[in-house]
Amino acid sequence: MRRYVAEAVGTYLLVLVGTGAIIVEETYGILGHVGIAIAFGLVVMTMIYALGEISGAHFNPAVSFAFWLARRSSQRHMLAYATAQCLGALAASLTLELLAPPSATMGATLPTTAPWQAWILEVLLTFALMYVIISVATGAKETGLMAGVAIGAAVTMLALFGGPLTGASMNPARSLGPALVSGRLEHLWIYLTAPFAGAALAVLLFRYTSLTHWRDMMLKTKVLFLCTGNSARSQMAEAFLREIAADRFEAHSAGLDPKPIHPLTKKVMAEKGIDLSGQHSKDLASYMGQMHFGYLITVCAQADRNCPSVFPGMGKRLHWDLDDPAAAEGTEEQRLSAFRRVRDEIETLVRAWVDEQACPTD
């Protein structure tokens, strides 16, 4: 539920700030086209950093659709995300109707070109945005040190070019809210269809340009580390396997009830020279039936007990019984000591397991 609330809040603020900037410009004439484009880019960038670890920071049904098409998220999440995003956008437009100066359009996207030209332009604009997103995203999440900057800059750049022509929506939810509140529905079909087509094209091109990468991935054994929260032990195991044997194994991790990565997890892994900024918590459900894993390794007793006995696409199943460092109490140094102990134990287990795969005994 947290992720859906985060999507609704992020989309709410995107529409509130972006279309609010349009209304301010209509009323006072102080922002200009460049100011509006910057407002959209900045709100997208800041929301990615604020909410990316929770929901993945899609804020756009076309983006959620593209991640589903790329098999990075489930259909259930895609539909729930789209619902939350549209509700957030509608709430933002209602807020502006109540609080902002009167506006005939409420910041709705209206083309200044022929409808067919606007449709093609929106396809191209969304294609460019989605190609950037899927290239810098981690899994189905827009996270990582530079992801927010890259995506926010792409939104600004495309809005500078496309804004005067189509409104540069690139987002069905962003267009839906203002259109419903203002009653300007005559061109809504453009913005409810073109972004999905553009996002699909971006996924197809990404798959083509990444063909060699995916071919290499197919040759690697996929390993899924599973624990309850996917905030400490499984994250460490994923990172160590990637660090030690990325040429032979494709490492993943997930949780039965995922929570954000624990700050001390990042701290103790940084001591080993491993940066976890590119990793994020994932739900086991997002992997169910999506890919074949050569190994499923549970790293806590609860995950071992509660993981489905029949897991579609699972090969061998192993269990490593590790203490939960997040349960440690005491001073900051005592808690760090617990995280370091578990970290070192996981590194030892991963190295030993990798060696066993090189020289199997059975």
Active site residues: 227, 300, 307
Alpha carbons 5 and 3: distance in angstroms, whole number: 5
The packing angle between helices 332-358 and 263-270, to 10°, is 60
Burial 68-97 (b: 16+ CB within 10 A, else e): bbbebbbeebbebbbebbbbbbbbbbebbe
Nearest to 20 by CA among 50, 52, 43, 53: 43
Residues in the chain: 362
Give the H or E element holding residue 299: none
3-class secondary structure, 301: helix
Structure tokens at 321: 């019984």
DSSP 206-228: HHHHTHHHHHHHHHSEEEEEEES
Place of tokens 């059975």: 362
